[in-house]
Amino acid sequence: MSETQRYSKRTEHVTGSAIRELFKLTAKPGVISFGGGNPSPAALPDDIVSDISRELVATNGKVLLQYGMTEGLPSLREALVPYIDQEFKFKTDVNSILPVTGSTQAFNLLLDAYTDPGDVILTENPTFLGATQAMRLHELQVVPVESDDEGLRMDALEEAIIKHHPRMLYTIPTFQNPTGVTLPLERRKKIAQLAEKYNVLVAEDDPYHSLRYTGQSLPCIKSFDQAGNVAFMGSFSKVISPGLRVGFLACDDPRLMRKCVICKQSDDLHTANLNQAIVEAYLRRGLLAPHVAATCQRYGAQMNCMLEALERMDGVQKFTRPEGGLFIFAWLREGVNATDQLMKAVDKGVAYVPGTYFYPDGGHDNTLRLNFSNADIPTIQRGMALLAEALKA
């Protein structure tokens, strides 16, 4: 290929996940990382998945190793109906559920099926970087909407809808990435109303929902959706295993669902059957609830440990107090640059992600995101002490 080789326009200005690149820099031996969004190794159920895999392939291998339907394993779709009702508080049916290869794929399919280049998509500010990258690859105009301590501001959202005529709103209402903030009930209802009023599709991304350590579980936005304007994305990455790559899309518009299926045919034909069957076994055998309960106990203690360290930390102006999820978001003093500080922190032996990357328009240089799920309590204590030192230096 020549030096002046042309590639696709859609990839021209997308350089890949800055976080993933940053991880390569900070992945030095011995550095404690609060940077990723990885589950704790202790929360990955290797013993159970090992046994289940053997059994499933031994008893049903001729089906699981064969081609499957793009629409997913029928028995998993059936098992998802009562699970969704119980966990996320909305009624659905097998035809409105599409198992996908991680909820990452669900969002990509929605963008494929519903948006054209140049369309406007609204997001929280800050928001999940992976989602922003998918938007840019679809050549969308990303318009962040002002958020406060409780998430998206409803006045700002309606103003943005009227001004920009967006095709879609992307939101993570529960234990948001990167802030950890949870949208209150009234705002959830309001979003469903605004979506119907202005015919905006809401892409509701709710991967952390079950990881609640305090407070009451809230029904998702989709549970208030009367007109089929909310597409819901669920994931088993945070509650079973991210390496299995299984999530689901739930959507009441049969035409949109059909288009997602068509796009999935060209994407990966279908999600691997064994992986779907492992998730199904977790749901049908009652394995998920006790595993989530144990994981919540673990992560809740780790979160509290990190919050306590933040309370004592000089140089930290403010931080969020999530009720669940994987992340705490913090503000250093005005004028302090969290990206510059990161290199000092890595020298001390600890890493995080500068918050600026999560703001579609950049800025907010004094912010950072801390993950508390991956490291155990002694490691969090050591890491936070190192961070305190780095911030003093």
Spatial separation of the C-alpha atoms in residues 88 and 191, rounded to whole Å: 16
CB of 51 to a copy of itself, least distance (A): 7
In the complex, minimum distance from the CB of residue 196 to a copy of itself, in angstroms, rounded to a whole number: 10
CB closer to a copy of itself out of 226 and 317: 226
Query: Which residue number, 190 or 238, has a Cβ lying nearer to a copy of itself?
Result: 238
Q: Name the residue type at position 21.
A: E
List Cα–Cα distances, 160 to 142, 164, 199, 347, 367, in angstroms. 12, 6, 14, 42, 24
187 vs 245, beta carbon nearer a copy of itself: 245
**What's the alpha-carbon Rg for the chain, to the nearest Å?**
21
Does residue 254 have a cis bond before it (omega within 30 degrees)?
no
Give whichever of 257 and 303 is closer to a copy of itself, judged by the CB atom: 257
Dihedral over Cα of 57, 58, 60, 65: its sign: positive
* Least distance to a copy of itself, CB of residue 44, Å: 4
**Which is closer to a copy of itself, CB of 180 or CB of 247?**
247
CA distance 124 to 187: 13
- What are the tokens at 275? 């992986």
Closest approach of a copy of itself to the CB of residue 52, in Å = 9
- Min. distance of Cβ 58 from a copy of itself in angstroms? 4
Q: Are 84 and 97 in contact, with CB atoms under 8 Å apart?
A: yes
Q: Looking at 66-222, which runs of residues are DSSP E strands?
A: 97-100, 120-125, 141-148, 151-152, 168-171, 201-205
Query: What angle, rounded to 10 degrees, do the helices at 74-88 and 273-284 form?
Result: 50
Closer by beta carbon to a copy of itself, 199 or else 337: 199
Distance CA 238, CA 301 (A): 17
Min separation Cβ 107 and a copy of itself, Å: 8
Min separation Cβ 237 and a copy of itself, Å: 8
* Residue in 212, 194, 199, 106 with CA at minimum distance from that of residue 155: 194
Quote the CA–CA distance of 62 and 27 in Å, as a whole number: 41
CB of 316 to a copy of itself, least distance (A): 28
Nearer to a copy of itself, 288 or 330 (CB): 288
Q: Give alpha helix (H) positions in 232-315.
A: 254-267, 273-284, 288-311
Report d(CA 102, CA 347) in Å as an integer. 34
Closest distance of CB 246 from a copy of itself, Å: 8
Give the integer Cα–Cα distance in Å for 97 and 80.
8
| Closer of 111 and 316 to a copy of itself (Cβ) | 111
Of 8 and 86, nearer to a copy of itself (C-beta) is 8
